Amino acid sequence: MSDAQSAAIKVGIIMGSQSDWATMSHTADTLKSLGIPFESRVVSAHRTPDLLFEYAEAAAGRGLEVIIAGAGGAAHLPGMCAAKTHLPVLGVPVQSSMLSGVDSLLSIVQMPAGVPTATLAIGKAGAINAALLAASILSNHDDNVRAALLDFRQQQTDRVLANPIPGE
């Protein structure tokens, strides 16, 4: 990746395991559809804690503006990431096999006051919405992202209006 490409990356997607990619690929696909450059990495809070600290501490200096962190089970990745950066961290609770992601959701959402993480819905919906929320944040100063986001929303509205209830 060239320096110019690397400098353009504003969103970092991190996840606790390769197994989270089935969910987090929806974040990547949504960012791609909006034309937002991003990077994606496996960074585990408990299996690679030093890497997580390095990633979070360097993120702002590398030009990232938003971090999207997906994790399942005892999902401490978003919270630990938020502890090491002032950037907004958007947490995606990955649907776990034992407790269907309720464990992931509660692990991410119940941050004690002082170090916030935004918390999205469990699974695919949350993964897509994390990308859209990142787009909203970038839209505050990026005209291209704002235009892409508004276009996405208009198309979504048009699709709903064009699809009456079958048989009605």
Shortest separation between residue 105's beta carbon and ligand RP5, angstroms: 12
**Is 20 assigned a ligand-binding role in the annotation?**
yes
CA–CA separation, 96 vs 157, rounded Å? 32
Closest to ligand RP5 by CB, 16 vs 79, is 16
**Is 151 assigned a ligand-binding role in the annotation?**
no
Closest to ligand RP5 by CB, 98 vs 113, is 98
Tell me the Cα Rg of the chain. Answer: 16
Shortest separation between residue 26's beta carbon and ligand RP5, angstroms: 15
Distance of CA 113 to the CA centre of its chain: 21
Closest to ligand RP5 by CB, 54 vs 151, is 54
Q: What is the DSSP letter of 20?
A: G
Distance of CA 67 to the CA centre of its chain: 6
Q: Where are any strands of DSSP class E within the chain?
A: 11-15, 38-42, 66-72, 89-94, 118-119
* Residues that bind ligand RP5 in the complex, under the rule CB under 6 A: 15-17, 19-20, 44, 71-73, 94
Shortest separation between residue 42's beta carbon and ligand RP5, angstroms: 9
Q: Which residues are annotated as a binding site for substrate?
A: 17, 20, 47
